[in-house]
Amino acid sequence: MNILKLAYVATSLLAFSAPAAFAQQQGGVINVATIGEPASLDPMMSATDLVGMISQHIFETLFTFDSKWNVTPLLAQSMPEVSGDGTVYAIKLRRGIKFHNGREMTADDVVASLKRWLDVASRGKQTAVYIKSVEKTADDTVTITLTQPYAPLLSLLAFNNSAAVIMPADALAMPLKEVIGTGPYKLKEHKPDQYIQLVRFDDYKPRSEKADGFGGARVAEADEIRFAPLPDANTRVEAAISGQYDYVDSLPVESYQRLEQGKDKPVLLDHFGWPIFVMNNKEGPLKNPKIRKAVQMALSEADMLAAGFGDPKFYAVEAAMYPKNYVWHTDIGTENYNIADPEKAKALLDEAGYDGTPLRILTSRQYEFHYKMAQVAQMYLEQAGFKVDLQVSDWATMIQRNKKPELWDVFITHSPFLPEPALNFILSKTAGGWWDTPEKEKALDAFNRATSQEDRVKLWADLQKLIFEQAPIVKIGDFSALSAASPKLGGFNPSPWPYFWNVQVKN
């Protein structure tokens, strides 16, 4: 399955290969410009791409994804032994893995970390309802016993957002007080709003397999990685053009032609992901499904995309939750998309008894396309009879606020297309949006219980239909993501979550 199509300038192909002359060279600093200060360095507590991008260098999971988005072992020695009824997973652990504090990882650390993940992480809570026990069954084996078959389990254990990372059992405080993982880089210094400095962990033990996507050997070629927050999009563009950083994340697509003439070169991920209009299903006016449907009827996704991305080569007005090159693609339910009918929306508001309570829409200008789409959404919603309170803040503040249902009605975010639908946070009743209906839980349970790919594809279509019928969110469309990378980087591979192990710095 062609999970992700990558498109980037031809000269980049040469820059991103690893010439033999310096393939083994170590040293240098990789400077990375990000969209802002991360809300946390605790990857269990955050489901944001920013935290996942940084923390994946420090922390590791039992499993990860290869270049074809198959689950592959990372801290696990091998893929698990699974019982015939699909309810018992015996996971053998790698030996000799050290934490950044010098202590060797044990099965007790893994059990304690997984229990914390089940308690505090949004995707852990999503999984917890299927877990009977997590226990050490040998010095090098952890066994997860389920109450029923749960097909997404390994993908959830592999994912780097709201991640099931392994930490020392004695360093699992809430909130996290020590940033200690097993990854190829360790935290040296964090100066909020200035930089996060990671340095090579010399006792890191790479896997023996050839690097393959996020899987296989991870080698810390650079001495350091520095992540610097640059919240202003225009500042990031100028930094890329001047070559101030080796990698600059999340750039406005309209800067593409300017970047071609700059020192860092554009990296475009085609059909990268989808912007999302997330509605508060738990509290406030949007708890009423008719008012959510009114939002759905009012919006012009085509105009929102045009405002956010400009040139149609950078976006697609597509309703389906997955693009056509995914096995999960289906058009079922998509007739309720891009309606832009204020009269239909007004009729639904009248039926619902909407009292004029303002819709509080949270957005941030750190992702400039979020803000532009929010402005267009406000116009269409007001035409339909809504009152709108557009609240703009920095990204970290917005992420903190959207955890509290009393503070918002809509927030705008985005996600890459994920290899397993169950990874989508919207399906979790404990994640932001809090979509929790009997119909959804029934369809989700059937999807999670199914063991064959054919059955799961059909059952995913049922879930997509419910997403359009109950309108817990509005998918805006598909978009391509733009970043920039220096020709000095050897071995860099574009990814939804850029990583800098196995990457060399050319002098």
CATH number, domain 24-229: 3.40.190.10
What angle separates helix 342-352 from helix 289-298, to the nearest 10 degrees?
Answer: 170
Q: How far is CA 50 from CA 101, 121, 170, 437, in A?
A: 25, 16, 26, 30
**pLDDT value of residue 19:** 35
CB-facing half-sphere around the CA of 299: CA atoms within 13 A: 29
What fold characterizes domain 273-481? Dipeptide-binding Protein; domain 3 (3.10.105)
141-146 vs 473-475, strand pairing mode? unpaired
Q: How many CB atoms neighbour CB 383 within 10 A?
A: 15
pTM, 2 dp: 0.81
Series of mean pLDDT values for 10-residue runs along the chain (507 residues): 39 35 63 93 90 97 93 97 95 98 98 97 92 97 96 94 96 93 98 96 96 96 97 94 96 91 92 93 96 97 96 94 91 95 97 96 92 96 97 89 93 91 88 93 93 91 97 96 94 93 90
Structure-block tokens of residue 347: 């009729």
Classify residue 222 by burial, with Cβ atoms within 10 Å: 0-12, 13-18, 19+.
buried
Secondary structure of residue 383 in the 3-state scheme: helix
CA distance 503 to 494: 12
* Per-residue model confidence (pLDDT) at position 48: 85
> How far is 33 from 248, CA to CA, in rounded Å?
5
**What is the pLDDT at residue 430?**
85
* The predicted structure's pLDDT at residue 12: 38
Q: Do domains 24-229 and 273-481 have the same CATH topology?
A: no
Instruction: Look at the block and give the residue holding tokens 């940033």.
Output: 179
Here the tokens at position 190 are: 């964090």
316: which strand partners? 478
Measured CA to CA, the distance from residue 145 to residue 294 in angstroms comes to 43
Rounded to an integer, what distance in angstroms lies between the CA atom of residue 472 and that of residue 468?
8
Q: What pLDDT score was predicted for residue 270? A: 84
CB 134 within 8 A of CB 169: no
pLDDT of residue 326: 87
Q: Where are the domains of the chain?
A: 24-229, 273-481
